[in-house]
Structure 1
């Protein structure tokens, strides 16, 4: 049963996503979300989180685990020249993005991450000792 990973996002981002899906710009292209897209899989031994982070290098990606929260943050510091060019559409941005997930019952010392071809893969091994159920006798 999937209960260990609960995504948290900025509430204003949810509202923005709603409007992005409703409206298209006047050139007919759907507006793309700037948020990090994440897939989460679970098997008996681990959770596997895969995040789309195109255009970054691994030095720009930070993964922190603290107080049962896994946070993935990206700081895209690529230089963007602001010369007045004839842009019709400009979606590539400079800035920060992050996603946090509440995760319990994992072996935090054995978290593994790999970044390849714009996809960050984070493997979170489950803590089998923590998952054991114990019935408490009432006296």
Structure 2
């Protein structure tokens, strides 16, 4: 199982068999619309390396100060507030495709060293390094029998 997966909070209290049935049903219904995720304003790539996970999110057109990166209850959240610049003069747009507002992505993060997470924002890409916890082999605890 992967240590980092997209977080879907609404599914929290559902029995797992029911949840998987619903997932399969929607996956089959929406299979034709696989590209629909590509329209999300925060596109994310997640790579697993030997000692860490690396998350890269495309967030063009925002300042570093407009990004909130937060880890709470094993959920890593990237939140962005893209503010619209309002000019006093009226502009006659023919087409306006750039979006403004709040965007958010959350991922369930497991088995990472929370104190060593590092993030860097450069050229519109947020790069988050999530070091894996050192795996400690289980200690054999032999109990003597009297």
> Is TM more than 0.5 here?
yes
2:6: which partner in 1?
7
Return the index of the structure with the highest Cα Rg: 2
Q: Tell me the distance in 1 between the aligned counterparts of 2:43 and 2:9.
A: 14
Whole-angstrom CA distance in 2 between matches of 1:93 and 1:108:
32
2:23 counterpart residue number: none
> Where does structure 1 lack aligned partners over 5 or more consecutive residues?
22-31
- Evaluate the alpha carbon distance shift between residue 86 and residue 50 of structure 1 in structure 2; reply closer, same or farther with a 3 A threshold: same
Structure that is richer in helix per residue: 2
TM-score by length of 1: 0.72
Taking the aligned partners of 1:110 and 1:50, their CA distance within structure 2 comes to 17
2:67 paired residue number: 61
Equivalent runs, 1:15-94 vs 2, <5 Å: 18=33, 33-81=39-87, 85-94=91-100
Q: 1:19 to 1:6 in 2, by over 3 A?
A: closer
CA deviation digits over 1:25-71, x for unaligned, max 9?
Answer: xxxxxxx8252000000111000000000001110001000111000
Q: How many residues align?
A: 120
Deviation, structure 1 residue 9: 6.1
1:81 deviates by 4.4
